[in-house]
Amino acid sequence: MRRAATFCVAFLLICGCASAPARPLPAPPVVQVSPAFDAKRARPDHGLVVTAQGGTLSEVLVYESGEGVPGRLDGSRTTWRSDWTLKPGAEYTVTATAASPGGPATVAMGRFHTRPAPRTFQVASTAPLPGETVGTGMPIIIDFDTPVEDKAAVERALEVKSTVPAEGAWRWIGDTRVVYRTRRFWAPRQQVTVTAHLAGVRSAEGVYGGTDSTFAFTVGRKQVSSVDTRTHQMIVQRDGQVVQQMAISAGMATTREYTTTSGVHLTMDKGDPVRMISPGREKGDPGFYDVMIGHAVRISNSGEYVHAKDNVWAQGRENVSHGCINSRPDQAAWFYDSSLRGDPVTITGTSRELEWDNGWGFWQLPWEKWRLGSALADTDPAGGWMPQR
């Protein structure tokens, strides 16, 4: 560059332009990387930030163990941030190129190491299960193996992608469980992928996510059921068409325990048979029962099922159960076979309301109240990770 500048000055003198001074080249951009190159114990929860002063970033390449690290530029192209936090105890290589108009480019190359995690946490279990096909009301439930103190940091690391975009929000239920619910039921027949970008997330003092976790599931056909305990009828619709009408008997309602709950239930699991024992009673007590029930589909945590019962004299006429919805054995078998976890079952006509935290009664909460359970409810979510200060 020095020879080129000298050549330009000599050319101007020959042309009689000696009075015009040579214009100096612009200073090259300054590239800054945080964590700094050669750092040995960088904090993984702060992520990676690359900035350019006096120019714009044209390319940022970051690798860890040969894998590219995703990130994005801001609107001014002067700042690049990693999408997520960094892995503990890992080496990262960075190549960043910045240029200024009409001036030289700057290429910054280097590497750094993140500090190892004293303790780690991870996903212990999920619902749905990986690869499962579920109903349109299905929530996403993630359980962690260690209590989470910094719920906002963990929640920012959770990503849900669906074939059909949908508005949704997480809600914390205790220190080890977080639940995702969409504002409206999932669109049917689509794929949903859930990724917990936990590697490097600081959940508590000295506790970091060790690895990321990803699983996918399928939303199947749309099946919704409506139960009217006053008319003693259950109507099942699939993709908008009535596919089954069942005469039923609901809870006798002589006590709260024997009153079926009204509200939006979800099918949770099923068994054939299921052993049902009267709660809080011992053999010989009034009202004690211990029976095996066939084709039972659970819809709450308070002992409610849709199941088979050979009491056709009551079905369609009278509520005589201990709180479950029972129907003719052949129709109960059909419902058992056709149900997916997460199918909505809406019950009306009783004096007992389903609690939102009874089983998967999450649809009992209005959307705005549901969102208040998020650790980010009072923030302006911008997506991706945010540094912990």
CATH code for the domain of 257: 2.40.440.10
> Per the structure, how many domains does the chain have?
3
Q: What is the pLDDT of residue 383?
A: 44
Residue written as token pair 């690359």: 50
Angle at 143 between CA 184 and CA 223, to 5 degrees: 30
Q: What is the pLDDT of residue 288?
A: 84
Whether 127 and 190 map to the same domain: the answer is yes
Q: 161 pairs with which residues across the strands?
A: 193
Q: What is the mean pLDDT of residues 47-74?
A: 97
- Residue 107 domain flag: yes
- Residue 361 domain flag: no
pLDDT bucket at 14, cuts 50 / 70 / 90: very low
Whether 188 and 296 map to the same domain: the answer is no
Query: Average pLDDT, whole number, for the chain?
Result: 91
- Residue 318 domain flag: yes
Whether 232 and 326 map to the same domain: the answer is yes
Pick the last residue of a domain from 163, 194, 220.
220
**36-59 residue pLDDT tens:** 999 999 999 999 999 999 999 999
**303-334 residue pLDDT tens:** 999 999 999 999 999 999 999 999 999 999 99
Whether 239 and 269 map to the same domain: the answer is yes
Whole-angstrom distance, CA of residue 173 vs CA of residue 194: 18
- Residue 23 domain flag: no
Q: How many CB atoms lie within 10 A of CB 97?
A: 19
Q: What is the pLDDT of residue 333?
A: 98
Angle at 7 between CA 3 and CA 13, to 5 degrees: 145
Whether 301 and 345 map to the same domain: the answer is yes
- Residue 17 domain flag: no
Q: What is the pLDDT of residue 83?
A: 98
pLDDT beyond 90 at 13: no
Angle at 248 between CA 243 and CA 251, to 5 degrees: 140
**86-138 residue pLDDT tens:** 999 999 999 999 999 878 899 999 999 999 999 999 999 999 999 999 999 99
- Residue 19 domain flag: no
pLDDT bucket at 386, cuts 50 / 70 / 90: very low
Whether 101 and 165 map to the same domain: the answer is no
**Region of poorest pLDDT, from 127-141, 260-274, 283-297:** 283-297
CATH number reported for the structural domain that contains residue 89 in this entry? 2.60.40.3780
Q: What is the DSSP string of 360-377?
A: SGGGGS-HHHHHTTSTTT
Q: What is the pLDDT of residue 20?
A: 56
The shares of helix, strand and coil residues in the chain, as percent rounded to the nearest 5, are: 10, 40, 50
Whether 335 and 255 map to the same domain: the answer is yes
Sheet containing strand 190-196, strands side by side: 133-134, 213-219, 190-196, 158-162
Q: In Å, what is the CA distance from 232 to each residue of 152, 189, 314?
A: 46, 31, 9
DSSP for residue 42: B
- Residue 388 domain flag: no
CATH number reported for the structural domain that contains residue 208 in this entry? 2.60.40.3710
Catalytic residues: 307, 324
Q: What is the mean pLDDT of residues 352-360?
A: 98
Whether 109 and 134 map to the same domain: the answer is no
Whole-angstrom distance, CA of residue 324 vs CA of residue 48: 54
Pick the last residue of a domain from 175, 192, 220.
220
**193-219 residue pLDDT tens:** 999 999 999 999 999 999 999 999 999
- Residue 22 domain flag: no
Pick the last residue of a domain from 183, 198, 220.
220
Whether 35 and 75 map to the same domain: the answer is yes
Q: What is the pLDDT of residue 19?
A: 53
Whether 212 and 234 map to the same domain: the answer is no
Residue written as token pair 């000055």: 9
Give the residue numbers spanning the domain of 207. Answer: 119-220
Query: Do 335 and 316 touch, CB atoms closer than 8 A?
Result: no
Whether 178 and 258 map to the same domain: the answer is no
More confident: 215 or 16:
215
DSSP for residue 40: S
- Helix (H) / strand (E) containing 6: helix 2-14
- Helix (H) / strand (E) containing 194: strand 190-196
Whether 126 and 179 map to the same domain: the answer is yes
Q: What is the pLDDT of residue 101?
A: 85
Q: What is the mean pLDDT of residues 175-194?
A: 98
Closest C-alpha among 345, 194, 190, 196 to residue 261: 345
Q: Model pTM?
A: 0.88
Q: What is the pLDDT of residue 384?
A: 44
pLDDT bucket at 3, cuts 50 / 70 / 90: very low
pLDDT beyond 50 at 351: yes
